[in-house]
Amino acid sequence: MGRGRRLYGLSAVLAALGLAGFALVLGSLLKSGLPILTWHFLTSSGPGGIGPEILNTAVLCAIALVVTVPLGLMVAVYQGEYLRRRSRRVRELDHLRATLMSAPTIVVALVIYRVAVGWWHWPVSLMTGALALAVINWPFMVAVSRSALASVPDSYREASLALGASRFETVIKVVIPAALGNLIEGIGMSLARLAGESAALIVTAGVNVSQHWSLWGPGETLAVHIWYIRTEGLVSGRDAEAAATGLTLMIGISVVLWLASRAARLFGRSQGGYDGA
């Protein structure tokens, strides 16, 4: 039975190699970070604590999501429900979305830096960071909403329209509820992506922690903290702190994704993605 299955063997070896790579990443993260991951570490501020960073991350992600979830959904509804399927405008919006979505986040930061900091005189702050995150996340939310809406069969729409409902009523009462599971899962994914963003935030939100409760003060996030103390920090030997921060971030992201997939199942996520063999 081994005959003619050499590529399968080779594949298994390669897969094991990839697995080993990730085991190394997670292993070294756990080894360095776990010993100092304490309640005190999570809640206190200053060296040896990441309380403010957790708060800043949550605030930035929350603002960006509150802004981009409705905006992304609206663009997707306009494309998918109001425009003709293969019209030129739909295609142009798709090209724009795909290009912006794959644009490096540092490019978005460059633009925000010029427009918000340069032209509008916003300070390097949580607010500027939130603006950058919103610009980064908008195309992602459009993509998530597009594919969620597309997963709803047309027969649902036709049934509703045939009963005399308007397009808008159909979208609100039929399409979005049917797409809700996929939407929630996509929002979870985009939240995870935002929580891990660093390059754009270093430029727009800065690497300091504000002492005041203001959105106009600088706001370092967890991801930025990892970079800052590992590469720029003046105190040496803070590997462990970076690792523990990384662990915190990974745990947070895993919990978000897990909750999102649980909630998605609750709202009837349609079987998407992988088709099985």
Partner 1 sequence: MEPKLRVENLSVWYQRQPALKHVTLSVEEGEVLALIGPSGCGKSTFLRTLNRLSEEQVGVRVTGSILLGDLDIHQPQVDVTQIRRRIGMVFQAPNPFPFSIFDNVAYGPRLQGAADPAALRKIVEQSLRQAALWDEVRGKLRRPALALSGGQQQRLCIARALAVNPEVLLMDEPTASLDPLSTAKIEELVGALRGQYTIVMVTHNLRQAARVSDRTAFFLDGTLVEVGPTRQIFTAPQDSRTEQYLTGRFES
Partner 2 sequence: MSMPSVTDRMPRRAAGVAAGLFGLVGIVVVASLVAGAWPMLGEPRSVANLIGAVWDPLRGRFGMAPFVVGTAAVTLAALLIAVPVALGAAVTVVHQMGALMREWTLRVLAVLTAVPSVVFGWWGLQMVVPWVRNRVGGPGYSLLAAGIVLALMILPTLSLFFAQSLGQVPKVLREGSAALGATADQTLLRVELPVAMPALVNGLVVGLARALGETMAVQMVIGGQTALPRGLADPGATLTTQIFTDITAFPPGTAGHAVLDIMALLLIAAMYVLVRAAERWGGL
Query: 17 or 213: whose CB is closer to partner 2?
Result: 17
Residues 183-212 that bind partner 2 (CB under 8 A): 189, 192-193, 195-199, 202-203
| Nearest CA-CA partner of 55 in 203, 270, 259, 252 | 252
Q: Give me the helices (H) in 34-115, please.
A: 39-43, 51-77, 88-102, 105-112
Q: Does 167 bind partner 2 (CB under 8 A)?
A: yes
- Within 8 A by CB and 6+ apart from 270, the residues are 151, 181, 182
**Nearest distance, CB of residue 224 and partner 1, angstroms:** 48
Our finding on whether 118 is near partner 2 (CB under 8 A) is yes
Residue 93 binding partner 2, by CB under 8 A = yes
Minimum distance from CB of 111 to partner 2 (Å)?
A: 5
**Nearest residue (CB) to partner 2, 93 versus 178:** 93
Q: Which residues of this protein are in contact with partner 1, per CB under 8 A?
A: 1, 3-4
Q: Cβ contacts of residue 55 below 8 Å, gap of 6+?
A: none
Least separation in angstroms between CB 7 and partner 1: 15
- We find the least distance from the C-beta atom of residue 249 to partner 2, in angstroms, to be 6
Nearest to 71 by CA among 160, 136, 156: 136
Closer residue to partner 2 in complex, CB, 209/222: 222
- Write the CA distances from 204 to 76, 208, 260, integer angstroms: 28, 11, 28
**Nearer residue to partner 1 within complex by CB, 2 or 18:** 2
Cβ atoms within 10 Å, residue 265 = 12
Report if residue 32 touches partner 2, rule: CB under 8 A.
yes
**Spatial distance between the Cα atoms of 121 and 114, rounded to a whole number of angstroms:** 9
